[in-house]
Structures are given as structure tokens and as C-alpha cells.
Structure 1
Amino acid sequence: MNVRRSAAVLAATVAIGTATPAVAASPSPSPSLPSGLYGSGDPTYDGVWRQSLALIALYRVHAEPAAAAVDWLAGQQCESGAFPAFRANAAKACDAKLMVDTNSTAAAAQALSAVGGHGTAVTKAVTWLKSVQNKDGGWGYTPGGASDANSTSVVIGALTTQHTPVSTIRNGAKSPYDALLKLSLPCADGGAFAYQPDKKGKLRANAGATAAAVVAARGTSLLTARADTGGESTCADAPHLTPARAAANGASFLAKAVAKGGYLKSVLPGAEDQPDYGNTADAVVALAVQGGPVAAREPLAWLERNSTKWAEQNGPAAYAQLILAAEAGGADPSDFGGTDLVEQLTATGPAPVTASQDDSGTSVWWMVGAGLAAGAGIGFLLSSRNKRKQP
């Protein structure tokens, strides 16, 4: 769940001859952009993604987003149920030239499920995702693309908004978990997940893919990821690998990866010695989901000390990732290393609605949203997740 548009979007945009722009933050949206959109950077490649993460993060801190923010996201959906990364003219029907993708669709489905009142839109999005499931049970970034761990994980998160167990959603004999397990490495190679097999068919450990896959293999999502002290974080090979075992193996890899310094390093060529803030935030969520707050303590503390400038530069998706990490890891998003992450996030877009209170002081909006999440049952910012292939 990262400011994650990197490899998957880059691959897609290279195919159509364009480049991925940098995404910058500002105190308020540019007048040239829709007033309901979070962030002032070019939304061409991440508009729906960052909007979805922002709404999900607000849901996690019990803040009701402005109607304009929700309406903008809902208006991005195509008649098919799919979402593109961004379409400037929502009044114009989607056509074959508009590239829709699984990541934007899955994130939007989760966000609209959280805010409530968009059941039809969520069902249409999930129905479309099911219609483009690969024969191996997984999903690529674009329909028909080779399955990858990040895309499959965020789609699993969307599937959990429904009442059907994820393991029963199949294309032929294969479920989403089958696709994830095919990308799990043995303990001799660290127990991590690969993003995809490389050109020679070899699996290479990828920290961003591992963070996303651990959360998904645990049967949770961006909406429902919570610290769980019951899971182990040791690696053990098994004759019949299960999602739970693969999640434990992946968490073991992440724990070792952040043991020195408290953060994950970038996998971008030439930047190997630089921290990867987004993937570190995702790793916090994964470690907390698998092993509880103690397992996530060191990378979470590192983010509290070091992520301020990164979040300022990268805007709403970055703030949302940090909120999700703080929530899962047991920190206070309103005082994260001295920064109020919620305040910073909402400053990039329309101010949230003051949540109405019932007589007991409980937010009515939160009760509705929590009920939707609970009804989803069991079944992954970051996009999210860095969808990065190892070089």
C-alpha cells in the first residue's frame, strides 16, 4: 500500500508511451482540479488510488469525509463497474481507450464500502474484478495481465466487502490464495513473497509485495487490518503451504528486513541505500496484523521520527498510509511524532464532516461503517503497496 503507483503504473504507462509524473502535496487542491479531490498533484495516474486511501484512512479514525470527496470517487466508476486511475470528464461515458485497472477498482470498492450508501457501486466493482480474474486465481494490474502479489492482495481486500469467502472465488479450480501462495518463497530464500516471477521464471523477494500479501493472506484488508497478538512471525516450510503459514513466513522476512535501522530500503536502481517510507508503513501494518504491536514497534517508531518530510512531499496517499500504520501499530494518528496526520490529510482536500453523535456519544457514521466492515466477514496503502519488480 504505498504511494504505490510505481512499477505497475510505470509498466502500463511505458506501454502507452507516457511517463509517470511526480505527485506533490499542497495545503489545498489546485483550483484546476475537482474540489472534492484530495491532493494538488497531477491525478492522471493516482487520482482514484489516493482518494480511496484518504477515505479509508478517515474511516479508520472515525471521521466522516465531505460529501464532495465521496461523490468525486463514486463518479469515477465506469458503467462496467471498473475504475480508471483518473478520468477528467466523468460525464463522458468510458470507452475502450480508457485504461481501467484492478488496483484503482479494488481500492475504490473498499473506500465506498467504508463510507456506506454505495452498495450497488461496490457490488458492480467486485463483479467486474471477478470477471477479470486470471486462471491462476490472481490478478494483474490491468485486466489479463500476469498476476502479481500486490494486485491480487488489494483485490482480496475488495472481495472481503462481500459476504462470500474469498477462498470460494475461483476461475476454474484456482482461488486468489492459490495465486498468492505460488509467489511465496521457501524459508531458504527468506520466506518472502515475490511481486511476479522474473523473466527467467525465478521468484525474488520483494518487501512491498510481501507486506501486501501478508495482510491479504491473513484474510484482512485496508479497512479491517488490526493488530493481532496471536500470530507467529517465524519461518517454517510446510509440505502443504497454507495462507496462514505463508503470512507467518512473510512476516518473518519483514521483521529481519527492518531489524537493522528500523526501515525497509528502496529497491529502485541507484537508490538501494535510501529508505522506502511507503513500504515501511505497509510493513508496519503487516507485522502488526501478524504479530501485534510489539512486532511493529521499531519500524513504527522509525516512521514517527523520520516520515514528516516524505509525507509532505507525497501528499494524501502518504498521510493515509501513515494513518493506517499508526492505527494498526497502536500509535495515535493525531500525534504521530508530533504531527497530526488526520489534520494534515484533510488539509489536502475538503474538510470532513463533524460526525453526528447519538445520546451515548458514539459516532453514528462510525457505527454504520463498522457494521459494514463486520458484515464483510473474513476473507489487502498501498498501493498503494509499491508494485515494484526486483531488477
Structure 2
Amino acid sequence: MLNAARPGAAALTAALAAALLAGTAAPALADTPGATAPGTGSAPAAATPEGLYGKSDPVYDGVWRQSLALTALTAAKVTPADSAVAWLTGQQCADGGWPSYRADASAACDARTEDSNATAVAVQALVALGGHREAVDKGVQWFRTNQNPDGSWAYNPGNPGDANSTGLAVNALLAAGTDPAGVAKAGKNAFDGLALFQLGCAAPADQRGAFVYQPAPDGTAAEANGLASGQASLAAAGGRLPVTNTNRTDAAPKALTCADGATGAVPRADSGEAAGAYLATRLAAGEQHLMLTLPGAAPTPDYTATAWAALGLVQGGHPQQAAGAVDWLAKEGGGWTKGGTDAAATATLLLVAQAAQRDPASFGGTDLVGQLTALGPAPRATGAASTAASGPASASAPAKKEKDSDTGKFWMLGIGLLIGIGGGLVLSLQRKRGPKL
């Protein structure tokens, strides 16, 4: 089963189901020959590598969750362990791309399984970390090489493009300092590719500005997709991770204006505002969160789509329209992060808190920095924004802040020695821990 925090997870699930029904090939997700989804019994789950954040099977989201974690922690003034950074850089293929996960980083990559989503967030993480220009430039070149003739990107090279992958590619280009308008194939640039998936004046009024995952293959009108709209909105607004925009406009996002009979694509200048207007309307109508709807399943809250919608609205200068979604995530996010044990969800939640200028050490009563830090190797250094926990956070209560000062440690040692000398007692300090990951 795909991790719900993975980009395009809903669309990929639908794609897998559609592929099975149609007898076509499903998208390739990992550079691990013979690997299958956990629980199928045909291949063992991958062991968690040293340096990787999170303890769950990394086959489908190893690079994704590592990149989000490094980006979020760096923005929180945490200096990650060298092993964490080395793991990510070691996953890069010779041609500059990243797969979802490489079980054997010494083996050559299969270009068919390289993952545009993983590559996009890896590039953004390395830009945030600094000092990795060569790897970043190779990643940018990979995007140039694997761009589709219509300007879009697919999840895996050689397939039709989709909104999520194209939006993430635009994010990566912007982070790397490369103008997406200058990255083109057959005369179509990255913004042209993104525009392919945004609904314009030909769509019903209540869907204008939204993004579809992919156009309907039979040429019929495709419906708006919440996750595609949320993720692509950040690119439409000209943003990347981490979102640091502090510009604020008092007015709500401007809905797309359509003259009678207009059917053309959404102009680039209007793309971000149109996406923001759609998302703000959907959030207001849905108790400040978006919903995930899959064939044959009851609708459920879509945490990932809601988080990216908030990021896109903040980037577009509309934090007031994002505030309700941020409040909802602060209240309900514990279920998404599985009590802070899901690295990708925890990192995304931390990125939202940072973008919305909320206190990440007390986001809905939870220390997100401490939770995320506890899911990986001990960091080299922590800044004022970090209150890193020393072990996995409890699944039933927020992570407890701990004092890291050497003075505090020496005092505790001294008190223990005095008690032992004076009364012949053995002092046992049992630190409360959550479930082992």
C-alpha cells in the first residue's frame, strides 16, 4: 500500500487500479528489482538504512521522506547528521535523477524507475542544505532531459505528464535558481506544461482554477483533483520548499475572469490566483480541509492535499485564507503523522507550520521539530527553533521538551552521586518513551 503522505498517492492508487482493470502496465515506483508492496508475500520489505528518517519500509518513499525531513529541519535551524545527508546524496543516479529508493546504491540505476517527484524534493533539500551545487545542477539537467514534448513531466520518464509531477518539477527549478520558462522541449516550457492541467473558462465555474491529475484519455472533461490542485498550486504561485514568503494581500485570491465564450488555457499571470481562489473556496466549504475520494471508497479527509493547499495559499500572499486549514492540521495532524512516527507527514506538517509562521515547538500542542528529529540520526547541531527529543515521540501524547545544556547534565549527575553516597541507594531514571518504530 502506498504511503498516504507520498505525492500523488491518491492519483497513483487510482492509476494502479486502472492499470489492473485495463491490463496495462502500472507505474514503476522503486529501483528495486522484484520489490513489491509490503504484505504481498512475494518479496521481503526493505530494511531501514542507516541515516534515513523513519522506520517504515522505504521502498516507495525513502527519498521523498528524507528530502522533506532535511528541508524542514534545516529551516528549523537543525544541522542534520552527516549520515542523513550522505544517504540522500548517495541515492542520486549517475544521470542526475533519483529513484524512489535504491536498495543498492552501488548498482547502476534503471532509468525507467527514476522518479521525478523524488528528484524534485531531493533538489530542494540540497538547495536548502547548501553546498551541493554539483548534485543540484545534475538534477536540473535530469529535468531538462526528461521533460515531455508538451512541457510536462511524468512520475517516471517516458509516460504522460501529470499535474503533481509537473508542479514539483517547477518547484525544484525555482529552488535551483532556474527559470522554468527557459526549460523547454519542442517549444513548450515548464509553465506551458503546468497549464495543461489547470481548468480554465471551459470548465464549470466552481472548478475554474483547479488542477486535474491528467486530462481524461478519451477527451472528455476531467474533474478537479484535490491533491493535484493542492500540490500544483505552490508552483502556480511561483513557490518552492521551504515556503518563506511573507508578502500578504488583504484581498482574497482573485477568481478567474472569463469573457463569454472564452475557452483558452489559464494565462500564466493568473494561474496562482485562480488556483488559490479555487482552493480557498473548497476549504471554506469543507470545514477547512480537502477530501480524498477514490472509486468504491467513502470520502476521507485528505491531509496531504490540505497541507499543500495551505502552502500554495501562503506562497500566493494569502495566509489568511490558509489559516483555517493550518488550524485544522494543527488539531487533526496527530492522526496523519501517526503520533509523530510518520516521517513524511511530520515533515510536511512542520513545513506548513513554518510557512504559516506558527510555533513549530507547539503546533497543536506538539513539538514537531522534536518529533521529526527523533525519527532520524542525532543531528550535528540544533538551533533555537529546535527542541529535539532523544527518542521516538509517544503515540498518545506530544513529545516532551528536554533540556540539552551541559549545565543541566552535570547537575543531574551530581545529584545522583550525592544520593548514592548518602543513602547507598541506586538511582534509576526511567525516561518515558513511545512505541518503538
TM-score tier by shorter-chain length is: 0.7 to 0.9
- Specify the alignment match of 2:213 in structure 1: 195
Counterpart amino acid of 1:347? A
Does the 8 Å contact 2:10/2:227 carry over to 1?
no
Structure having the higher Rg: 2
Please, which of 211, 215, 219 is the counterpart of residue 234 of structure 2? 215
Pairing of 1:233-312 with structure 2 (within 5 A):
233-237=253-257, 241-259=266-284, 260-312=286-338
1:141 aligns with 2:155: yes
**SS of the counterpart of 1:258?**
helix
Pairing of 1:11-160 with structure 2 (within 5 A):
11=15, 14-15=26-27, 20-21=37-38, 32-95=47-110, 99-160=113-174
Measure how far apart 1:7 and its partner are.
Answer: 4.3
Residues 183 and 189 of structure 1: CA distance in aligned 2, closer, same or farther (over 3 Å): farther
Instruction: After superposition, give the CA deviation of every residue in 1:1-37 in whole Å (9 maximum; x if it has no partner).
Output: 9432524654478356975449xxxxxxx99422200
Does the 8 Å contact 1:218/1:243 carry over to 2?
no
Instruction: After superposition, give the CA deviation of every residue in 1:29-82 in whole Å (9 maximum; x if it has no partner).
Output: x99422200111111111001101111111221211111100000000111111
Question: CA separation in 1, counterparts of 2:358 and 2:320?
Answer: 11
- Specify the alignment match of 1:184 in structure 2: 198
Quick check: 218-227 or 5-14, which moved more? 5-14
Q: Provide the alpha-carbon RMSD of the alignment.
A: 2.7
Question: CA separation in 2, counterparts of 1:274 and 1:164?
Answer: 37
Instruction: After superposition, give the CA deviation of every residue in 1:217-270 in whole Å (9 maximum; x if it has no partner).
Output: 122111345353137513123567323312111111111111131111112234
Percent sequence identity is: 41
Residues 163 and 328 of structure 1: CA distance in aligned 2, closer, same or farther (over 3 Å): closer
**Unaligned 5+ runs, structure 2:** 17-24, 29-33, 40-44, 387-437
Does the 8 Å contact 2:229/2:279 carry over to 1?
yes
Does the 8 Å contact 2:237/2:272 carry over to 1?
yes
Counterpart amino acid of 2:207? G
Instruction: After superposition, give the CA deviation of every residue in 1:163-212 in whole Å (9 maximum; x if it has no partner).
Output: 43211111121111111112111352422111111222223101111122
Measure how far apart 1:351 and its partner are.
Answer: 2.2
Quick check: 144-153 or 189-198, which moved more? 189-198
Please, which of 1, 4, 16 is the counterpart of residue 7 of structure 2? 4
Does the 8 Å contact 1:149/1:194 carry over to 2?
yes
Measure how far apart 1:135 and its partner are.
Answer: 0.9
Does the 8 Å contact 2:11/2:213 carry over to 1?
no
**Unaligned 5+ runs, structure 1:** 23-29, 364-391
Measure how far apart 1:272 and its partner are.
Answer: 4.1
**SS of the counterpart of 2:376?**
coil
Does the 8 Å contact 2:170/2:235 carry over to 1?
yes
